[in-house]
Each structure stands twice: as C-alpha cells, then as structure tokens.
Amino acid sequence: MYLRARELLTPDQRKDFLLIPSTLSNWELAYYYTLTQDDIEVIRRRRRDHNRLGFAIQICLFRYPGWSLSDIKNVPDKVINYVANQLQVDASEFKLYSEREQTKHEHMEEIRKYYGFSNFSAQSYRIISQALLPHAIENSNALFLIGMTLEEMRKRKIILPAMTTIERLVWETRRRAEEKVYNSLYKPLSPWQKQQLEKLIDTPSDKSKTKLGWLREIPGQSSPDAFLKVIERLEYVRLLNLSTESENIHSNRLLQLARLGARYEPHSFRRFNENKRYAILVAHLLTLSQDLIDQAIEIHDRQIMILQSKGRKAQEELQKQNGKSINEKVLHFADIGEALVKARNEELDPFEVLEKIMPWERIVDSIEEATRLARPMDYDYLDLLVTRFSYLRKYTPVLLSKLEFRTTQASEPLLRALNVLREINNNKKRHIPEGAPLDFVPKRWQKHVYDEDGNINRKYYELAALTELKNHIRSGDIWVAGSRLHKDFEEYLVTKDNWDETKNTGNRLAVGMSAQEYIIERNTALNERLDYILENIDSLEGISIDKSRIRLDRLEKDTPEDAKSLSQTLYNMLPRVKLTDLLIEVSNWTGFDEHLAHASSNRPPKGEEKSIVMATIMAMGTNIGLTKMAEATPGITYHQLANAAQWRLHEDSLSKAQATLVNFQHHLSLSKYWGNGSTSSSDGMRVQVGVSSLHADANPHYGTGKGTTIYRFTSDQFSSFYTKVINTNARDAVHVIDGLLHHESELSIEEHYTDTAGYQYLFIKKLEL
C-alpha cells in the first residue's frame, strides 16, 4: 500500500510511456532516429545484417525514448524501415535479431560502454531529484514532472529504469517541493497571524458563517453599499499583513495553491498539517485580495456606467414631459420667423407684424420658457449628472483612500487630480484649490467644470475625474496596485532577464528586434496591400471606396439549395446516438478528459468518475443544471456532479481540455475546407441569472429578467472592432485584444498572427509601447 501511494500513473498511462507512437511525423523520425557516420561505422563491425539492424535499433532506443530493447515490447515498422534504409539492409532481418536474448544483452552492454550510457543508480536518483526540484516547485502536475524527469535522464545518458521507479522519484521530489513551498509561506508567519488564520476557519458559537465564508462572499449587485462591503473585506485581509513576496515560490505554484484553497470548505482545512493548512490559506487570501480589488473596480466601473445611463434617461424623460411645450415653442418660432421674413420682403415694420401674430408680452414669455426648456447645443446630458453626485459620494472617498493607482507619464495629470481629491477628502475641504490639474478634463466636461465666476466646480471636477479614472483603467493607462485584472501592462510581458536571455540565445522571434524596423516593415506591408486594393478595386467583390474610405460590404448568408439538400442527405445518413455516448467516444479519440485532473490529487478521471465528469459537462454545457441532470441519470447523484464541477472543471483544466479538442479538430483534413481556423461565425450567448449578480443586468431586447451575455470574440471580428476603436483609444483596443489573442494562443492555432487582424494588433501594440 505504501508503494502504491507513490504510483502517479494508471496502468494505461504507464504503457503509453513505454510505447513509441506509430504516428511519428517525418520530422520526429529524422530528429530521433537518424544515424551519424560514426554510428554507421560502429554498426558495420557486426557481421550479419540482422545483428547490424538490431544493434542500430538499440542505439536509437537508448537515445529515445531511453529504455532498452527489452523494455520496449513493440518497435513500430516505420522506425525499423527508416533505420534499415540508412544501413541499406532488409527491414525483415529484425525478426531474426529478436530471437536471441543473449545477443541483445551483449550489444546493450557494448553500446553502454562505447556511448557513455549509465545504469540508473542511487547517485542518479539524487542527481535527477535535485535537478527536478525547481520544476516541482513551479508545477506539481505529475505528467509534466515525469516528462521533465525523462528528458533530464536522456540528457545525462541514463538508461531509464522501470516506470514505477520514475514515479516514486517524482512522487518523492514533489513531496519535498510541497514541503519547501509550504514552509516558505508558513515560516514567516507570526504567532498573531497564525491565530488570525485559525479564526478564519473557526465556526462561530451561533453556527453562523465563518470569517472565511464571509471573505468569499461575492457582491450581488453594483451599489455604494456593495463597494463598501468589498473594501471592508479587503481591509480585513490587509490587516493580516501577509507577505506577497517570496523568492522560493513560483507564481504558478502560488496560483495552484490558491485555486486549491478556494475549493475547500473552512472545516476541511482542519485535516491538514499546520504548515500545509496555513500555506494554502495564505495563498488563497493573497489571491482573494486581488479578487476583492477587481470587484471594487468593477463596481466603480458599473456605477459610472449607471451614472451616464441615468443622465441619458433623465434627458429623454425631460423631452417626453416637455414635448408638448417644446412643440408649441417650435410653432411660435416658426410663426415669428415667418412674420420677420414677411416684414423684410414687404418692407414693413417688423414689430407691428409681430404684434399682429402674437402680443409682445406673450412673445417675451415664450422666449423665457423656451430658454428654460432648451437643452445644450450638442444635446449633451452632463448638466443632469450633478444630481447623482451625493449618491456617488457614499463610496468614492473610500475608493480614493483605500486603492492605490499608478500610471505612465501620459496619465500623470489625472493621477495628480485624484491625489488632490484625496487630500480634500482627508482635510474635509469643500473647494478645489487653485493650481489643481486640469489637463485631464475632456473638452466635453470643460464647460461644466468652471462655474459662472470662473472657479472650479467641485462636483463636476470630481465627476470628470472619476469618469476618466474608469476610462483610463479600462484602457490600461492607469493600473491598480494589487489587482490581477488591472495590473501594470509590463507585468503581462516577459521579464527583462528572460528577454535578454531570449535575444542572446538567438531564438527566432515573431517580430523584429528593432521597433523602428518593425514599423517600417509593417508600413511597407500595409502600403503593398493598399496598392493592391487600389489597382484591383473594380474586380474585388464587396470592396469599394466611398468618401476616401475603404468600405467593406456586409457578408450576406448565401447557401446554395444544392448544399442544403446535400446537408440534409448527409444528416439522414448519420446514426442516431445518445449525447452521452458521443461525448465519451470523443474523449476516447482525443483524450481531453485526461486534462480534467482533480485540483487536489492531480489525477485524471477514471472508471465511474469519467461518467460523472461527462454528465457534469453535459449539465453545464446544455444549461439544464446539475439538479435536472442528476434526476435524468440513474446512479449519479447531485453531490457527485457538484463535486466534479467544483474540483475538476476549474479554469485551468477546462482551458487545457478545450485546447486539446481544438487542436484535434484543427489537424483533421476535413477542417481545412472551412479555412485555417483564424475565422469564426461565433456570436454571443445570453444566459438568464436567477439570483443577484454583479455581472447580470436587464436588457429589454431579451425580455424581462436579468441575465449576462457571453461573447466569443475572434480575429475576424477584430477587424471591425479595430476600425471603430483605433481612432479613439488604441490602448483600449490593445487591452481587450491582448486578452483575446492570449486566449487563442492557448488553443495553439499557429496561424492567428498571419492574418491582418494579428498584424494590426502587433502594430498598435508596438506603437503604444
């Protein structure tokens, strides 16, 4: 039982490692199994063809996959034929070589001595374990660590031992890495901090919610009260003064621990040792503080959106209420204008003509009333927002005092304005001091920021600053300290040390090393495409030039009747299968379920667990819910489905499973008839939300009730997005598209940078940097 606990692979996985794939590509075949001239000279010392071929195969197997011929039960014909062709012998001779075990062992010993291979020993165990430890600290995934172990052994020319030995090595190294990580987070804790962490998971005497449960609460709506509650929880975490810097902990491992902690109920932490319990709690709280900051920024973002929405609605309401009066004033103006035109044309006294149409007193009253009813010339609603100022003030002082904003030089005036507001709030002043920065105020707000006496209007100044803060956070010009979604743009990039290392190693990069060279190259490519369009504008379908702008016609649905008929015929030929059976069959084709590893044990689903996971995917993918799925599947309970959803269908595992499915489909020959995978006809999906949610709102277009819309934004849609955004706020485009293309890169679609959208993205990103 002790040894079985150290086995990380299932029997099937263990067999897969000992198999040479029969689907090796030509590149892999050449890379692993090409013999050098020195190899051929050594091989030709054998007297018979079957000995030469067998000796050569043993050399190749020692190099990759690293085991001896006795361990590899089946060598693919593709490998045998490739090696035989290099030796100019018949591949069938290999069968004769397999009959003599003594010859194989003699050759193996000769190869080991001549090429410097060594058997696995206790010393090898220590060396490999030490080399593997940094990787185990970064990532605890068993398959990843086993792969790194095999690679390290091949590099050091160590003949691979049995897979169970490798698994025990990885298990022990991973255990050491875990202890090292746990201690790195545990040892800096003071007795007071440990006491506070214990209080987080203690159940109150009145059986109410634990402190940890309270910290995990998600705001159900966007309001000043919700913002203050989020900040209250954030301040509680900050008071614990947990260290966010540790040289020994990789960010990936910290994130893994945080995800693990997020899935445990408070009472579940009690079963762990003290160092593990506190380490997971610390990692969870550090990530939770980032989530709380992001929630606070999201609430502020929505409050500003609500502010603007209410301004528009107030203006529309005014128009409805005063519609009759406004129409009356328009008719009066038309009558007055007609009278003045008549007076001019007939050279009459204009006042006498006006008196005949309308008494002078009534004209004066009408003008005064029109002045009251008139809206700004640009029909803006900013003058109506001031009534909401006191409502926003319920949380905005806390926003400015509890969150730290940082910026580049471009947004420095806005940051100074926020500091001025923070100082006014702290000193309880009522007026904006002279010399306050005004460079950040958009032209639209300027006429409201100054009052009639030329002084700065406190309310409009603060409203303008808060609105611009929301816009600059969205565009990435301002970032929030401690946030994950709104962090410094530099943190998304590789570190300077890694960048210097990449340059020095000569690795091929997707773009030039010089920004100037890159811009020249992109300008050249852009001009070439524009010249081509201009030369062929008459022959290009759906493209025209209108008012010095290139216009692309909307793509219309155009499906030939023959195609519809063929589609129906093919559909009728397909067998009717249950969705569950189809899902399991797809998992057998692709192995995507292997990535749905348990967040705690890192084990993929096997046996009965596999059926439960598939049912959970169906329940969530079809939106029928776990309860109805449990009712429809005998033998599977709601608790089993909920457990699978909680521990297996987390963000990391779903991304890997999705990447496996997309890559499998992308390499099918049939998929190439629909393009290279860089375009999609995907659209948004509206999901009704039956409970209070920060991200749910009402949309009359979808009927009554609140919901949220999930969009799939692909590179073909980026061109339209780019056209709308590039002339207004390029950094906003970069901020959104960077996340979009990062998601696509996880799907390993290699071509996504070769289309126009990818070039545009890289171009504006370089310009903004």
pLDDT digits (tens, 9 = 90+) for 30-46: 888 899 899 898 888 88
407/395 Cα distance (integer angstroms): 22
Q: What is the pLDDT of residue 712?
A: 53
198 pLDDT higher than 80: yes
Confidence category of residue 677, pLDDT binned at 50, 70, 90: low
Confidence category of residue 737, pLDDT binned at 50, 70, 90: very low
The answer to whether 401 and 422 are in contact (CB under 8 A) is yes
Which has more confidence, 510 or 485? 485
Question: Which residue ranges make up each domain of the chain?
Answer: 4-181, 210-299, 321-383, 404-491, 562-674, 685-768
* 717: Cβ contacts below 8 Å, ≥ 6 apart: 680
Which has more confidence, 530 or 128? 128
Residue 65, preceding bond cis, omega within 30 degrees? yes
Which has more confidence, 581 or 303? 303
745 pLDDT higher than 50: no
489/408 Cα distance (integer angstroms): 10
Q: Strands of 621-679 (E only): list them.
A: none
For the ranges 74-83, 321-330, 724-733, the one whose mean pLDDT is highest: 74-83
> Closest by alpha carbon to 257, among 241, 281, 237?
281
The alpha carbon of 275 is separated from its chain's Cα centroid by a whole number of angstroms, namely 32
Confidence category of residue 723, pLDDT binned at 50, 70, 90: very low
- Give tens-digit pLDDT for 333-348: 888 888 888 888 888 8
357/398 Cα distance (integer angstroms): 60
The two structure tokens encoding residue 754: 């070769």
96 pLDDT higher than 90: no
CA-CA distances (angstroms) from residue 659 to 32, 79, 611, 747? 26, 29, 21, 4
Q: What is the pLDDT of residue 603?
A: 81
Amino acid of residue 484: R
Confidence category of residue 721, pLDDT binned at 50, 70, 90: very low
Q: What is the pLDDT of residue 403?
A: 94
Phi, psi of 14 (to 5 degrees): -65, -40
State the pairing for strand pair 685-688/706-710. Answer: antiparallel
184/181 Cα distance (integer angstroms): 5
> Mean pLDDT lowest for which of 158-167, 218-227, 719-728?
719-728
Q: What is the pLDDT of residue 399?
A: 95
Strand partners, 545: 550
Q: What is the pLDDT of residue 4?
A: 44
Quick one: CA dihedral 7, 10, 13, 14, positive or negative? positive
Q: What is the pLDDT of residue 680?
A: 60
- Give tens-digit pLDDT for 393-428: 999 999 999 999 998 887 899 999 999 999 999 988
Look at phi and psi of residue 88 and say left if phi exceeds 0, alpha if psi is from -120 to 50, else beta.
Answer: left
* 647: Cβ contacts below 8 Å, ≥ 6 apart: 263, 598, 599, 600
> Mean pLDDT lowest for which of 83-92, 151-160, 759-768?
759-768
The answer to whether 444 and 308 are in contact (CB under 8 A) is no
652 pLDDT higher than 70: yes
Tell me how many helices (H) and strands (E) the chain has.
34, 7
Q: What is the pLDDT of residue 768?
A: 39
Q: Strands of 385-503 (E only): list them.
A: 405-407, 478-480
* 520: Cβ contacts below 8 Å, ≥ 6 apart: none
276 pLDDT higher than 60: yes
Mean pLDDT (whole number) for 219-228: 90
Q: What is the pLDDT of residue 10?
A: 72
For helices 122-138 and 251-263, the axis angle rounded to 10 degrees is 70
- Measured in residues, the chain has a length of 769
- Give tens-digit pLDDT for 281-335: 999 999 999 999 999 999 999 999 989 888 888 888 888 888 888 888 888 888 8
* 227: Cβ contacts below 8 Å, ≥ 6 apart: 219, 296, 299, 300, 303, 395, 398, 399
153 pLDDT higher than 80: yes
What percentage of residues in the chain have a pLDDT greater than 70? Answer: 87
250 pLDDT higher than 60: yes
Strand partners, 709: 686
Chain-wide mean pLDDT for the chain? Answer: 81
155 pLDDT higher than 50: yes
CA-CA distances (angstroms) from residue 541 to 388, 532, 551, 555, 754? 51, 14, 11, 11, 22
Confidence category of residue 752, pLDDT binned at 50, 70, 90: very low
Other C-beta atoms closer than 10 Å to the C-beta of 240 total 17
